[in-house]
């Protein structure tokens, strides 16, 4: 049963002033109404009701992705921040739990189809580096052990589901990805570690304030599912 809007917990605010707001988007929450979804609760509406004023999206996160999200509090500020994104003046990084042992670092340059327009593949580039690796004595496929990595990913382009598609492309599927992932490994983490979500988080966002010109950096909250991995990656 879908929860009513009033029963939803407040969206955590990481930074706010009279011009803009940065929040921690929960996993499983759509940004806005979609004709292909039956959801009745959306981040933009929920946040508007929470703070008592309209918010203007600057970028987006997939429904399943959690983490740092930047929004303007008026159209002019939002346009300025969008320009920063388009000119690559905003830094952003993601953390992902993937199957297999990822290389120390790498760059994935592989076209990605937008799926919302003409579905023609467009240039897409993601840099990454491996933060941690673990090998577990668990047989899931044809091997007696299973390997996993936590990676930091930096998308240099902004295609829809780019990071998810890119890590599938190099056979390091993100855990919890029901569209581009590996079902056997997803099931293992559901059954043994209580992780039922996509393990992809917008971890850090850095930008220049459009008015004060101050350099601002916001970090995602430490979510429960990531805390559960501490017992695995030790």
Q: How many C-beta atoms surround the C-beta of residue 6 within 10 A?
A: 6
Q: How many C-beta atoms surround the C-beta of residue 196 within 10 A?
A: 12
| Alpha carbons 161 and 112: distance in angstroms, whole number | 9
Yes or no: say if 65 and 27 are a contact pair by the CB < 8 Å rule.
Answer: yes
Q: Confirm whether 219 is a catalytic residue.
A: no
Q: With 0-12 CB in 10 A as exposed, 13-18 as middle and 19+ as buried, what is 175?
A: buried
Catalytic residue (one of 62, 80, 177, 182) = 62
| Alpha carbons 136 and 68: distance in angstroms, whole number | 30
Residues forming the active site: 62
């Amino acid at each position: 049963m879908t929860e009513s809007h009033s029963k939803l917990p407040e969206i955590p605010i990481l930074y706010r002033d009279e011009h803009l707001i940065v929040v921690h988007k929960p996993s499983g929450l759509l940004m806005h109404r979609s004709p292909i979804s039956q959801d009745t609760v959306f981040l933009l509406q929920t946040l508007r009701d929470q703070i008592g004023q309209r918010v203007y999206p600057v970028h987006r996160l997939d429904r399943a992705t959690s983490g740092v999200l930047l929004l303007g509090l008026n159209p002019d500020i939002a346009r300025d921040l969008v320009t920063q994104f388009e000119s690559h003046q905003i830094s952003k990084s993601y953390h992902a739990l993937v199957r297999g042992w990822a290389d120390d670092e790498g760059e994935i340059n592989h076209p990605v189809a937008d799926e919302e327009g003409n579905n023609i593949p467009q240039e897409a580039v993601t840099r990454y580096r491996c933060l941690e690796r673990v090998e577990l004595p668990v047989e899931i496929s044809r091997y007696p052990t299973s390997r996993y990595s936590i990676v930091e990913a930096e998308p240099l382009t902004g295609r829809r589901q780019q990071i998810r598609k890119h890590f599938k492309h190099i056979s390091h599927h993100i855990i919890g990805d029901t569209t581009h992932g590996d079902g056997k490994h997803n099931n293992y983490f559901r059954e043994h570690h209580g992780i039922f979500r996509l393990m992809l988080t917008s971890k850090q966002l850095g930008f220049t304030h459009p008015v004060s010109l101050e350099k601002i950096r916001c970090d995602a909250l430490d979510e429960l599912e990531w805390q559960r991995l501490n017992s695995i990656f030790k």
